[in-house]
Amino acid sequence: MAEGEIVYLDNNATTQLDPAVIEEMLPFLTRYYGNPSSGYGFAVTARKAINLARERLAALLGCEPVEIVFTSGGTESNNAAVNSALQLDARGGHVVTSSVEHSAVLRPCQDLAKRGCDVTFLGLDRHGNLDLAELEAAIRPGTALVSIMWANNETGVVFPIEKIAEICHEKRVLFHTDAVQATGKIPMRLRDSPINFLSLSAHKFHGSKGVGALYVSRQTRFNALIAGGSQESGRRGGTENVASIVGLGKAAEVAFKYVAEDKCNIRSMRDRFEKSALGAVSGASVNGAGAVRLPNTSSISFEGIESASALLLLDRQGICCSAGSACRTGSQDASHVLRAMNPSSDGARRSLRFSLGRFNTDAEIDRAIEVVPKVIEKLRQSTAPRPVATACLPHPS
């Protein structure tokens, strides 16, 4: 690849818009600008386009179109699920979640705890795995909701969501999963699952920012977070973001084909990068290596560096990666995910996350393989203690 080109390895933060998605969106930003809730013929085109997007997303999730509520993104979807479960709860208001959730779940749960709601935050082992026995023991008669992410955004560790959903179903407790990082990357079939709520965001699988969806099982009661008009069958007020919803539908259609064909080039590129980094850099280790992970995500801890300094040098070399969630950028706090996995280690401050997408190439991986070890070595040299010079004094007589 040409020198100076950007190598984008931060696809868990956001993804490149698929050209096919842009092409499908454009007419609804220009010609077909009618309000889909209007009664005249000009609005029908927009309304039909939303219905098609709903069908396409339902195919990706393996559910019924009527079970999909379009939202502004993963954050709104997460908040809507938590809010609905608690508003309709008659059990006691207890919530069970993990200590490594995205801030869009963690913050609402922390706010609930501050207001007196009882919240249990489950820990992880050093590989990033949940203890299912501990989760089951945390559920009690007053539990209103269990919320566990499908895949961690920082490490890529995939949780056993189907088993967790079964545990919740047996105990008759609502279950929500934040599937923002998992959607479009691994197969899903919600119609065969007892999952009650699932959140997703289009810009994580090559759709546009500012649009997402909440899956609400037909067997689950739901109370809208945003009250207003009768849009989304009364489940989410506000005029629909037609162009972005259309783009989400197209992105889902492309992702469904991609997942169904089980294309493994992302995994092979990720594995090649990891193998090279571990071989070239002493004191490097993969966070979550002992767990099932998403095929695109690699969180690597490098001894003897600070991740913030590494990010600056990598940026100068045109390598885009992160130290964790994009929602933490600018924070001085170390990754809560990595701290939860190993509280006694400083790995949370010396780890970098590389996340690949469908548009990454082998040439870009080659460039990363070349640059990353050099940057780590340069940082280590700059922080290595220097020998102290001593003057040669005459021996006292």
Known catalytic residues are 327
Helix (H) or strand (E) holding 121: strand 119-122
Q: Show the tokens assigned to 350.
A: 């010396």
How far apart CA 251 and CA 372 sit, in angstroms, is 31
Instruction: Specify whether the backbone of 75 is left (phi greater than 0), alpha (psi in -120 to 50) or beta.
Output: alpha
Find the helix or strand (DSSP H, E) in which 246 lies.
helix 242-260
3-state SS of 356-389 is CCCCCCHHHHHHHHHHHHHHHHHHHHHHCCCCCC
Burial 270-287 (b: 16+ CB within 10 A, else e): beebbebbeeebeebebb
Quote the strand ranges of 123-252, DSSP E: 143-147, 174-178, 197-201, 212-216
**What is the token pair recorded at 200?**
């997703």
CA–CA dist 389, 365 (Å, integer): 43
The residue count of the chain comes to: 397
Q: At what angle do helices 307-316 and 362-383 cross, to 10 degrees?
A: 130
